[in-house]
Amino acid sequence: MKLEELKSTATQVRRDIVRMVHGCQSGHPGGSLGCTDLVTALYFHEMKIDESKGADGYLNFSREAKGEDLFFLSNGHISPLFYSVLARRGYFDIKEMSTFRKINSRLQGHPATHEHLPGIRVASGSLGQGLSVANGAAYAKKLRKEDNVVYVLMGDGEQQEGQIWEAVQFAPHYKLDNLVAIVDWNKQQIDGSTDKVMNNRDLKAKYEAFGWLTVDLLDGNDMQQVLDALAAAKAMLGKGQPVVILMKTEMGAGVDFMMHTHKWHGTAPNDEQLATALAQLPETLGDY
Amino acid sequence: MKKYTYTEKKDTRSGFGAGMAELGKSHPNVMALCADLVASLKLDAFIKENPDRFVQCGIAEANMIGVAAGLAIAGYVPYATTFANFGSGRVYDQIRQSVAYSGANVKIAVSHAGLTLGEDGATHQILEDLAMMRSMPEMTVINPCDYNQTKAATIALADHVGPAYLRFGRPVMPVFTDPNQEFVIGKAWMVNEGKDVTIVATGHLVWEAIQAGELLEQEGIDAEIINIHTIKPLDEEAILKSVEKTRCVVTAEEHQLNGGLGDAVCQLLSRKRPTPVEMVGVDNSFGESGTPAQLMEKYGLNAAAIVEKVKQVISRK
């Protein structure tokens, strides 16, 4: 997909996120908006996925993902972003977004496989677990000699979990050079700035000390920079080390009043705020 | 009383190791993971024959569970192994989210469960794991009774699709079950038919139940002994059918009374056929250092304790 198309897709995804969270008056818009450009770029540009469709017209989904690149969302609370991208990519009907976080929905508050939503391979939300699962999937790809990439997105607050560092030492030990981790380094978490809550200090130095190659993505809300970082990461694969993209983003990116604060981490907009937000995000692909 | 004899004593964990060695040959998708306890888990034979299908995870159990989930998603059948203490309570949330809720086909296979771990003491003597794993949706929970049964359970689990917790132990114990037994998950084993009391036992307590049955026979009490190796799903039919005849039950397990096999049996009976029950297990206490036999005696988990409970429960009929 070309740059302009990716940008307009990301704008629609942002509309979807704000509308979904408003629709159930619950959910996490801030981090979802911050990571929109990355996850849009992964699914619409970077990742090699099975493009075949079933009789229902939707993409065929295989949990095993043989011969496919795959993506794990570790910071599962940004589920509205994941659901919008999966629906817009063709895994299920975009109308289903209206069921987000409502009773009897496949679009659970945090991503789940339990209701068999196509595109989800593992449940996430309890933080710190996604990189370990990605390690296992990447290990399996190497065992099968499959030439695919495993991507996993984590939050920066999530880097405070101990399990992350168990997983960070595992990947270089097994030379998982088919693994790309992305840290959403927005410096915000529920209780305030990460510097104040629990300082992550120098994440780049920490990952390097554990044996990772690093890519600096200085503006993860600039689509061209996102594409460049993903290309740079891919070029580093196959050299015996995993790669981490340290992605600086702005929580709430695309909606001015949700930016520069942690307050929209897990808060839903009211009707008036929704109207203000949507005015900043023109409909590009048609609302659900 | 049906006669049970043995010619050798072996540890149940070696039964697991032997089962894994067979799976290494028969099941190309089976993998083993371990958190720095390869010798304790008896994985040497599997690793020697299948070095590519073994993942040493180091002392990092949380990551190990996640790696197992990732391997399972990719189509492998991973057995994640460590001590029971570190494969249950320490990683409860990882098992809950990445394995059970995610429907990942991961086998948690854990050794050194219960008091019979012995001298290492209470830090390592997990007595709450069955309660944790029983309460988790989608989880199958198995606690075999000797070397042969553990080997058979290990092999049977490879063809069972879904998360499972397989619990075994450290000390050598009599090997008294059929080496060629068919292990059916969720199907109880009738050890001895009797009419006066039903003894429902799991794990290391099954041999003790057999010893108790012989002691009771000398006193004219005819005990029916049922081995529940699969704590979940529980073979309700076998228990209810036995209780129709005996009208009283003693449960026996190397676990807390809270939340284990005894609780499962009580829940079943109080719902479907109220019946007097007495329970042999650890009563709301941590363990301590000692030899396995000393600990089983001190905490009331042996044949003598079962005999006493049988007399109590018969008097309540």
- Average pLDDT over chain B reads 98
Kindly state the average pLDDT of the residues A187-203: 95
Percent of chain B having pLDDT more than 70?
100
B205 and B228 in a common domain: yes
Kindly state the average pLDDT of the residues B277-286: 98
The single-letter code of the amino acid at B167 is R
Residues in B closer than 8 angstroms to A135, CB to CB, are 63, 66-67, 70
CB atoms B102 and A66 under 8 Å: no
B47 and B162 in a common domain: yes
Does the residue B52 lie in any domain? yes
B159 and B203 in a common domain: no
Bridge partners (DSSP) listed for residue A213: A243
Does the residue A171 lie in any domain? yes
Q: How many CB pairs under 8 A join A and B?
A: 112
B164 and B19 in a common domain: yes
Q: What is the pLDDT of residue B213?
A: 98
Q: What is the pLDDT of residue B70?
A: 98
Of A66, A113, A170, the CB nearest to B63: A170
Q: Which of B174, B206, B227 is the last residue of a domain?
A: B174
CB atoms B66 and A124 under 8 Å: no
Looking at the complex, does the CB of residue B28 fall below 8 Å from at least one CB of chain A?
A: no
Q: Domain range holding A35?
A: 3-279
Backbone angles phi, psi at B242, to 5 degrees: -65, -40
Percent of chain A having pLDDT more than 70?
100
Q: Measured between alpha carbons, how far is A221 from A223 in angstroms, rounded to an integer?
A: 6
Q: A50: domain CATH number?
A: 3.40.50.970
CB atoms B73 and A114 under 8 Å: no
What string of H, E and C letters represents the secondary structure of A163-231?
HHHHHHHHHHHCCCCCEEEEEEECCEECCEEHHHHCCCCCHHHHHHHHCCEEEEECCCCCHHHHHHHHH
Q: What is the pLDDT of residue B241?
A: 98
Q: What pLDDT digit, counting tens, does each position of A145-165 carry?
A: 999 999 999 999 999 999 999
* E strand spans, A125-178: 150-155
Of the candidates A156, A162, A163, A99, the one whose C-alpha atom is nearest the C-alpha of residue A135 is: A163
Domains identified in chain A, total number:
1
Q: Domain range holding B100?
A: 9-174
Q: What is the pLDDT of residue B144?
A: 98
CB atoms B73 and A136 under 8 Å: yes
Does the residue B265 lie in any domain? yes
For residues B288 and B164, the answer to whether their CB atoms sit within 8 Å is no
B198 and B170 in a common domain: no
Tokens of B212: 């108790």
Looking at the complex, does the CB of residue B51 fall below 8 Å from at least one CB of chain A?
A: no
CB atoms B74 and A170 under 8 Å: no
**Burial class (CB within 10 angstroms; exposed 0-12, middle 13-18, buried 19+) of A4:** exposed
CB atoms B74 and A132 under 8 Å: no
Looking at the complex, does the CB of residue B29 fall below 8 Å from at least one CB of chain A?
A: no
Domains identified in chain B, total number:
2
Q: Measured between alpha carbons, how far is A226 from A7 in angstroms, rounded to an integer?
A: 11
CB atoms B103 and A170 under 8 Å: no
Q: What is the pLDDT of residue B48?
A: 98
Kindly state the average pLDDT of the residues A171-189: 97
For residues B127 and B115, the answer to whether their CB atoms sit within 8 Å is yes
Read off the pLDDT band of A185 (50, 70, 90): very high
Q: Measured between alpha carbons, how far is B122 from A45 in angstroms, rounded to an integer?
A: 54
Q: What pLDDT digit, counting tens, does each position of B228-279 carry?
A: 999 999 999 999 999 999 999 999 999 999 999 999 999 999 999 999 999 9
B163 and B51 in a common domain: yes
Residues in B closer than 8 angstroms to A170, CB to CB, are 57-58, 60, 63, 67
CB atoms B71 and A162 under 8 Å: no
Does the residue A19 lie in any domain? yes
Read off the pLDDT band of B183 (50, 70, 90): very high
Q: Measured between alpha carbons, how far is B288 from A147 in angstroms, rounded to an integer?
A: 52
Does the residue B226 lie in any domain? yes
Q: Which of B174, B202, B236 is the last residue of a domain?
A: B174
B293 membership: H or E segment, kind and range: helix B292-298
Q: At what angle do helices A223-236 and A3-24 cross, to 10 degrees?
A: 110
Tell which of B64, B73, B90, B106 to mutate to test the A interface (max A CBs under 10 Å). B73
- Establish whether B237 is a catalytic residue: no
- What's the residue count for chain A? 288
B150 and B235 in a common domain: no
User: Shortest Cα distance from B29 to chain A (angstroms)?
Assistant: 11
Q: Measured between alpha carbons, how far is B297 from B253 in angstroms, rounded to an integer?
A: 13
The three-state secondary structure class of A40 is helix
Does the residue B144 lie in any domain? yes
The single-letter code of the amino acid at A201 is R
Q: What is the pLDDT of residue B18?
A: 98
For residues A100 and A81, the answer to whether their CB atoms sit within 8 Å is no
For residue B51, the chain A residue with the least C-alpha distance is A143
Residues in A closer than 8 angstroms to B78, CB to CB, are 136
Kindly state the average pLDDT of the residues A230-245: 98
Q: What pLDDT digit, counting tens, does each position of B131-164 carry?
A: 999 999 999 999 999 999 999 999 999 999 999 9
Residues in B closer than 8 angstroms to A139, CB to CB, are 55, 67, 70-71
Does the residue A108 lie in any domain? yes
Tell which of B64, B102, B107, B139 to mutate to test the A interface (max A CBs under 10 Å). B102
Q: B149: domain CATH number?
A: 3.40.50.970
Q: Measured on CA atoms in the order B255, B261, B265, B268, is the torsion positive or negative?
A: positive
CB atoms B70 and A139 under 8 Å: yes
- Average pLDDT over chain A reads 97
Tokens of B197: 């009391």
Q: Measured between alpha carbons, how far is A140 from B121 in angstroms, rounded to an integer?
A: 38
B227 and B91 in a common domain: no
Does the residue A234 lie in any domain? yes
Read off the pLDDT band of B98 (50, 70, 90): very high
Of the candidates B67, B60, B5, the one whose C-alpha atom is nearest the C-alpha of residue B32 is: B67
CB atoms A163 and B71 under 8 Å: no
The Cα-based distances of A50 to A31, A58, A74, B68 in angstroms read 28, 11, 22, 24
Q: Measured between alpha carbons, how far is B54 from B99 in angstroms, rounded to an integer?
A: 19
Nearest-Å Rg of the Cα atoms of chain B is 19
Q: B265: domain CATH number?
A: 3.40.50.920
Tell which of B57, B63, B71, B90 to mutate to test the A interface (max A CBs under 10 Å). B63
Of A126, A140, A169, the CB nearest to B74: A140
For residue B67, the chain A residue with the least C-alpha distance is A136
Q: What is the pLDDT of residue A205?
A: 98
Kindly state the average pLDDT of the residues B211-217: 98
Q: What is the pLDDT of residue B143?
A: 98
Tell which of A70, A115, A129, A146 to mutate to test the B interface (max B CBs under 10 Å). A129
Does the residue B2 lie in any domain? no
Kindly state the average pLDDT of the residues B294-299: 98
Does the residue A231 lie in any domain? yes
Does the residue A215 lie in any domain? yes
The three-state secondary structure class of A116 is coil
Q: Measured on CA atoms in the order A237, A239, A240, A243, is the torsion positive or negative?
A: negative
Q: What is the pLDDT of residue A130?
A: 98
